[in-house]
Structure 1
Amino acid sequence: MADNVKVSKFANARKKFVRFFKDTRSELKKVIWPTKQQMVNNTLTVLFFCLVVGIIIWLVDFGLTKVLELTLLK
């Protein structure tokens, strides 16, 4: 009796595991993948904004450093 329970639990887990990958594959077929040009444009946009944010952070850091140097070193 206990052997049947163990086997059925294992079989049930295996079915769920297989079903998960079948569902995943099915969902990936529905995805509309971007074209190469869209990927290039998106990548360049992200890099540009990373550069802009980096410059802003650098300017704020530089400005605050100078303010602290002027106030604390006097």
Structure 2
Amino acid sequence: MPTSIKTRRLKYLHNIVEQDHRFIKRRIHSRLGFKSFQTAVSILAMYMSKKEQIDLRDQSVQNLNIFIH
């Protein structure tokens, strides 16, 4: 094996995207999918706010409520 190739020792961290979607996949499989589009939007919005992927000017409850609904 060439010396420029690095191998990862952690078996389950190869695919970072799959690790990121683990939470959503667990919710989908436990309930066999989202029951409505609004439910899916709300859950994904909460997950985005948890991961701090949204940039609200002030992190008030009213702004989060508007973003979720």
TM-score scaled by length of structure 1: 0.25
Higher normalized contact order (CA 8 Å, seq sep 6+, divided by chain length): 2
Computing the radius of gyration from Cα coordinates, the structure with the larger value is 1
